[in-house]
Structure 1
Amino acid sequence: MDSGPTCSHLLVMLNHSGEVRFRFAVLNPGDTKCSSVANESLVSDEVHAVRLSSPCDGNTTGTGRGVEERGDSVLSNSVLVPVLFGAIFLLGVAGNTVVVAVLAKTTIPKSHEGFTHLYLLNLSVADLSFLVLCVPFEATYYLLPGWIFGPFLCKFVHYAFHSSMTVSVFTLVALSVDRYLTVRSVRRSFLRTRRSARASVLSLWMCALLLAAPVPGHQTLIEVDAQPLGPFCWECWETLQGQRVYRLLTFTLSYLLPLTIICVCYSKVLYHMHRRVHNTSRKWVKSKQKVRERWV
């Protein structure tokens, strides 16, 4: 299955009484509009569409039994998820705003501590970007039948989601490397200057923006002919192979490789700290023995 975005999509219809109804919509090759193949009598002003699967992942099959089993969870998610997103938004924005305000007023140290200062500031900015540019739109998407923000925000919000999340991950990697260099007492190296710290932060953003560059090109606003459904913002690829390659690339560069680097760096930090403590304790024991020998 390597054709274009040709698929059938199971749309679940829920009315206000909780009754589950469903219909199929087919996305033709090259089209961005779904055409109904079900009885139009199932569509009314009271129905609410719930997305179960992307109309660009291939043929989707479903039965009435499977739909009924998911009806209650869909209704609860439409309320629970926005409330959870709202709490995360308020707490996250408040906390990161305080961090940014404190760090922004603090003079960047000229020593190696300037690295940590800039990285923490950059991490808070990336988290704020994610909270402000992504969370409100995703929470609204759970409440409404479709995407109401237009094609531009369909692309921009998902691009901001991927890029800000990747910047946060890259910053955590940079912090782990910085902690390792600190333990190793690499302070006078050219890697430990304020200029290199700023260049490092800029490089993190550039790499994250480049890695997320394909996202807006594959986010598509799909319109459905039934009025209650509204448009959907989906990730559509011309070939399934291209989608898999990109997902494997992002998984490797934004999760697997960063996780490996972080684990290695902090393992080495623990090793060097343990060795220093062990050496210090040995020196203390030797000095204590010398004191005893003198008194004896």
Structure 2
Amino acid sequence: MCHLLPFVQAVSVFVSTFSLSAIAIDRYNLVIRPHARSLSPRSAVLVASVLWVLSVIVSLPYGYYMKLESYPGYCGQFCSEHWTNQHIRRGYSLVVLMAQFVLPFATMLICYSSVFMKLNERNKTKLKKLNERMHLLKTLSKMAFSPTPSDIDS
């Protein structure tokens, strides 16, 4: 149980993080490249499967290096990490930091910033067209309801 529970927790966190990154990439593709082929259901299942496999692979060391221990003065046993080599522990910690925070954060930041800029650009274009139409309608209404020279003479 000591090996399984931390492993399952790590897998669930990695799957969540990777899924958020995949969603950001999908939204990026839908907004930035709207005419490109969208993700098919089969491709979506493949992406989800790859995310799960990657999550399991990255989480394996965490479950493997757990050990059930008793500490003097404390009631019960506790599950704690026992790495055989500090270099391996540091390397794994770096992999976890990169895979769980840095890469997903960078991916989401780039994707959502691009989406925001694109949508903002579209919105400005729509507002510009709307202002042009309003100006045209104002001009036409002034022309339609302004007095003509024949109205002034009579």
TM-score, normalized by length of structure 1?
A: 0.45
The yes-or-no answer on 1:271 pairing with 2:117 is yes
Q: How does 1:59-70 map to 2 (within 5 A)?
A: none
CA–CA separation in structure 2 for the residues paired with 1:159 and 1:186: 39
Residue aligning to 1:231: 77
Q: Percent identity among equivalent residues? A: 24
The equivalent of 2:6 in structure 1 is: 158
Structure 1 residue 232 displacement after superposition: 2.5
Gaps of at least 5 residues in structure 1 are 1-152
Residue 208 of structure 1, aligned match among 49, 55, 62: 55
| Residue 241 (1) aligns with residue 94 (2) | no
Q: Stretches of 4+ moved more than 6 A in 1?
A: none
Q: Residue 282 of structure 1 aligns with which residue?
A: 128
Number of aligned residues: 142
- Find the counterpart in structure 2 of residue 292 from structure 1: 138
- Structure 2 counterparts to residues 1-296 of structure 1, below 5 A: 153-186=1-34, 188-189=36-37, 191-223=38-70, 229-295=75-141, 296=143
Unmatched segments (≥5 aa) in structure 2: 144-154
Tell me which protein shows more helix as a share of its residues: 2
Distance 2:25 2:39 in 1: 11
User: What is the CA-CA distance between 1:263 and the residue it aligns to?
Assistant: 1.3
Residue 185 of structure 1: how far off its partner (Å): 4.6
RMSD of aligned C-alpha atoms?
2.0
1: CA distance between counterparts of 2:32 and 2:99?
26
Displacement of 1:228: 6.5
Q: Is the 8 A contact 1:186 1:192 kept in 2?
A: no
The 3-state SS of whatever aligns with 1:180 is helix
More strand by share: 1
1:221–1:233: 8 Å Cα contact kept in structure 2? yes
Superimposed CA distance per residue, residues 158-190 of structure 1 (whole angstroms, 9 cap, x where no aligned partner): 00011101101111111112222222253541x
Matched residue type, 1:200: V
Name the SS of the counterpart of 1:293 in structure 2: helix
Give the residue type in structure 1 aligned to 2:2: C
Question: Residue type matched to 2:135 in 1?
Answer: Q
Provide closer, same or farther for how the CA distance between residues 280 and 227 of structure 1 changes in structure 2, counting only shifts above 3 A: closer
| 1:234 Cα deviation after fit | 1.2
